Amino acid sequence: MNQPPKALWSEPWRDVAPPELVAALSALGHSRRLVDGELLYARGDRSQDLIGVRSGLIRMIGSTADGYEGLLGLYRPGTWFGEMSFFDALPRPADAYAVGDTEVLIVPAAPLREVLDRHPVWYREFARVLCHKLRVALVHIESSFLPPQVRIAIRLLDLAEAYGRPVEAGIEIDLSLPQEDLARMLGLTRQSVNKELRVLQAQGGLQVRRGRITLTAPDALRQRVRDAGGGDLL
């Protein structure tokens, strides 16, 4: 059997998932390529497959009855999603769109359930992923009670940890991150996000250039969060 592509395995599975599970998922899955803006699945779809990102990016969008859209998550290479519908057999809770040219690995639900029933200990690995996502969700919920500037700092630090790359000026978030997307992540207006980013930039904590954000003083941002009472959320 060919070695599974390394890009499929990122935290919280990196270095902990049993090699046999990694091989089984890779063997069961089939690739699908998407172009920028293409819909992978829509909210309400009945599909229950597990999906891993091989390249590109998947944007998860939630919407309200009055048309407001919130950015619920960004899935980079090495991350997986779709496990909620896989386990509870309920419809997809959000829309999933490709950002740029994207390739995903789709693992069909029925054969995966058969494999897991033969190896029930592997359910622990899925529990690990679900617990990780639940912790992240709880952090985002708790941070919603903090001032906008602190919420922005927490989310940027989180994104820097997931997508950051060292550059001369500090840690660049290696994503095209329009302020509108950041606002959708936090439930804020774009104007409010723009105002607070300007303040943080004037304080020397970050740089915003051409849709890219670089944290020039991440330790100072962390201290600002702690001073505002959000230290437990880092």
List, for residues 2-50, the tens digit of each pLDDT value.
444 444 445 445 455 778 888 899 899 999 999 999 999 999 999 999 9
Two tokens, residue 86: 């896989």
For the chain, the domains span: 6-137, 144-233
Name the CATH code of domain 144-233 (choices 1.10.10.10, 2.160.10.10, 2.130.10.10, 3.30.390.30): 1.10.10.10
Average pLDDT over residues 208-217: 89
Contact assessment for residue 83 and residue 50, using Cβ atoms and an 8 Å cutoff? yes
For 34-38, 49-53, 128-132, 147-151, which range has the lowest pLDDT when averaged over its residues? Answer: 128-132
Question: Distance of CA 30 to CAs 34, 43, 54, 100, 156, Å?
Answer: 13, 22, 11, 20, 33
- Tokens, residue 232: 């437990």
Mean pLDDT of 85-102: 95
Confirm or reject CATH 2.40.110.10 for domain 6-137, answering yes or no.
Answer: no
DSSP notation for 15-59: TTS-HHHHHHHHHH-EEEEE-TT-EEE-TT-----EEEEEEEEEE
pLDDT grade for 231, boundaries at 50, 70 and 90: low
Given a cut of 50, whether residue 158 has pLDDT beyond it is: yes
> For the whole model, what pTM was predicted?
0.81
Q: For residue 2, what pLDDT is reported? A: 41
Q: Are 192 and 148 in contact (CB under 8 A)?
A: yes
> pLDDT (tens digit, 9 = 90+) per residue, 161-193?
888 899 999 999 988 788 898 999 998 999 999
Contacting residues for 65 by C-beta, under 8 A, at least 6 apart: none
Average pLDDT over residues 55-63: 92
